[in-house]
Amino acid sequence: MSGVVINQLGIRPLPDEIHEALHTSIKQLFGRRRLVKSGDHVVIKPNLTWELEHETTARPVIFAVTKYFVDEGCHVVIGENVRASRETDKVIKALRIPELVKRLGVDFVDLGKDLVTVATPDSPVYKSIEISRVAMESDALINVPMMKTLPILTHVTTALKNMKGILPPRQKIQFHDMGLSEGIALISHVLRPKLTVMDATIPLDWSPEGTYFMRPMGLVLVSDDVLACDVVTASLMGFDPARIDHFQNAYRFGVGEIDLQKIRVSGGDIAKLKMQFAVPPSLEELLAELPNVQVVRAGVCSSCEVAAATALWTAREQLKCAGDVVLLLGRDAKPVSGKRNIVSGQCLNQYKDVGFWIPGCPPRSMGQALHDYTGRVEDVPVCL
How far is the C-alpha of 177 from the C-alpha of 109, rounded, in Å? Answer: 27
How far is the C-alpha of 318 from the C-alpha of 368, rounded, in Å? Answer: 11
Beta strands, E only, the chain? 3-8, 41-46, 75-80, 107-110, 115-119, 128-132, 140-144, 146-150, 155-157, 195-206, 212-214, 219-223, 264-266, 293-297, 325-329, 340-344, 356-358
Residue 11's Cβ-count burial label (10 Å; 0-12, 13-18, 19+) is: middle
Q: What is the pLDDT of residue 263?
A: 98
Q: What is the pLDDT of residue 384?
A: 47
Task: Cis check for the bond before 362: say yes or no (omega within 30 of 0).
Answer: yes
What's the half-sphere exposure (Cβ side, CA atoms, 13 Å) at 47?
A: 27
Mean pLDDT (10-residue bins), the chain, 384 residues: 96 95 97 94 95 92 98 97 77 94 97 96 94 98 94 80 93 83 95 98 81 90 98 96 94 97 97 89 79 87 76 81 86 88 88 86 75 66 54
C-alpha gyration radius of the chain = 22
Q: What DSSP character marks residue 117?
A: E
Q: What is the pLDDT of residue 306?
A: 75
CATH architecture of 283-379: 3-Layer(aba) Sandwich (3.40)
pTM for the whole structure: 0.86
Which CATH number does the domain 3-273 belong to among 3.40.50.2030, 1.10.3720.10, 3.40.50.360, 3.40.50.11440?
3.40.50.11440
Residue range(s) in the chain whose domain bears CATH number 3.40.50.11440: 3-273
